[in-house]
Amino acid sequence: PAPAAAASVAAVTVAVAAPPAAPTPAPVAAPAVPSTSASPSSSAAVNTLFSMEEEELSSDQIQCKEALRAGKRLLKEKNGAAAMVRFEKALMLSKALADKVQERRAQRGLAASCRLTHQYRQAIKHLERVLEISREIGEYTGDADAYGTMADCYTDMGEFEKAAVYYDKYIERMNRDGPI
Partner 1 sequence: LETVPTIKALRSKAEAIRAAEFEKAVSRLGDGLSKKQLKAVEELSKGIVNKLLHGPMTALRCDGTDPEAVGQTLSNMEALERMFQLSQVDVTAMAGKQ
For position 136 contacting partner 1 by CB under 8 A, the verdict is: no
Determine the interface stretch with partner 1 among 38-46, 116-124, 132-140, 163-171 (rule: CB under 8 A). Answer: 163-171
Q: Cβ closer to partner 1: 14 or 169? A: 169
Q: How far is the CB of 56 from partner 1 (least distance, A)?
A: 14
Give the distance, in angstroms, between the CA of residue 8 and the centroid of all CA atoms in the same chain. Answer: 18
For position 50 contacting partner 1 by CB under 8 A, the verdict is: no
Q: Where does residue 102 rank: exposed (0-12), middle (13-18), buried (19+ CB within 10 A)?
A: buried
Q: How far is the CB of 147 from partner 1 (least distance, A)?
A: 11
Pure H helices in the chain: 3-17, 40-51, 59-76, 80-97, 100-116, 120-137, 143-156, 160-174
For position 57 contacting partner 1 by CB under 8 A, the verdict is: no
Binding residue for partner 1 (CB under 8 A) from 41, 79, 117, 155?
155
CB neighbours of 79 closer than 8 A, spacing ≥ 6?
Answer: 116
Residue type at 27 in one-letter notation: P
Q: Cβ closer to partner 1: 87 or 147? A: 147
For position 143 contacting partner 1 by CB under 8 A, the verdict is: no
Residue type at 19 in one-letter notation: P
Angle between helices 120-137 and 100-116 (to 10 degrees): 160
- Residues at the contact surface with partner 1, assessed by CB under 8 A: 141, 144-145, 148, 151-152, 155-156, 160-161, 163-164, 167-168, 170-171, 174-175, 177-178, 180
